[in-house]
C-alpha cells in the first residue's frame, strides 16, 4: 500500500482552513440549503460600468420614438458593445422589453 494517499489527505486537511478563508471582496448571497444556511461571497470585483446595465430607453432616446437605434448609444457605452446580444429580434432597434432581459 502506498503512503502517498494518506500524506495527500493529511496535506489537504492541514491546508483546508487556509483555503477556506473568508473573502470580503464582493457582495454576498445567503440561502437555505438542505444541509443548512449557505453564504456565497463573490470574489469578482464589481463592474465599473454596472449602472450602464440598468439603462432604460428614455435615458438614451434622443429622437423620442421610445426605442433606441445604434446611433443613439454612445460609442463607449456597454450597450454599444453588446448591441447584437440585446437586439433579440434583430430589427435594428432596442426596446425597454429587450433591455429588461439584458444583464
> Domain-by-domain residue ranges, the chain?
50-100
- With a CB cutoff of 8 Å and minimum separation 6, the contacts of 22 are 41
| Mean pLDDT along residues 49-70 | 90
| Mean pLDDT along residues 29-41 | 89
Instruction: Give the confidence band of 37 by pLDDT, cuts at 50, 70, 90.
Output: very high
How confident is the model at residue 11, as a pLDDT? 62
Rounded to two decimals, the pTM is 0.54
Residue 24 near residue 41, CB atoms below 8 Å:
yes
Give the residues across from 31 on adjacent strands. 38
SS3 at position 71? helix
How confident is the model at residue 23, as a pLDDT? 43
Q: Give the whole-number percent of the chain exceeding pLDDT 70.
A: 71
C-alpha cell at 33: 440549503
Residue 67 near residue 61, CB atoms below 8 Å:
yes
Amino acid at each position: 500500500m502506498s503512503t502517498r494517499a494518506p500524506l495527500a489527505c493529511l496535506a489537504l486537511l492541514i491546508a483546508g482552513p487556509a483555503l477556506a478563508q473568508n473573502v470580503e471582496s464582493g457582495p454576498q448571497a445567503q440561502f437555505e440549503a438542505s444541509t443548512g444556511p449557505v453564504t456565497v461571497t463573490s470574489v469578482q470585483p464589481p463592474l465599473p460600468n454596472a449602472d450602464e446595465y440598468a439603462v432604460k430607453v428614455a435615458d438614451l432616446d434622443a429622437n423620442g420614438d421610445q426605442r433606441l437605434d445604434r446611433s443613439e448609444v454612445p460609442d463607449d457605452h456597454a450597450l454599444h458593445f453588446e448591441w447584437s446580444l440585446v437586439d433579440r429580434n434583430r430589427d435594428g432597434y432596442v426596446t425597454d422589453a429587450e433591455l429588461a432581459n439584458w444583464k
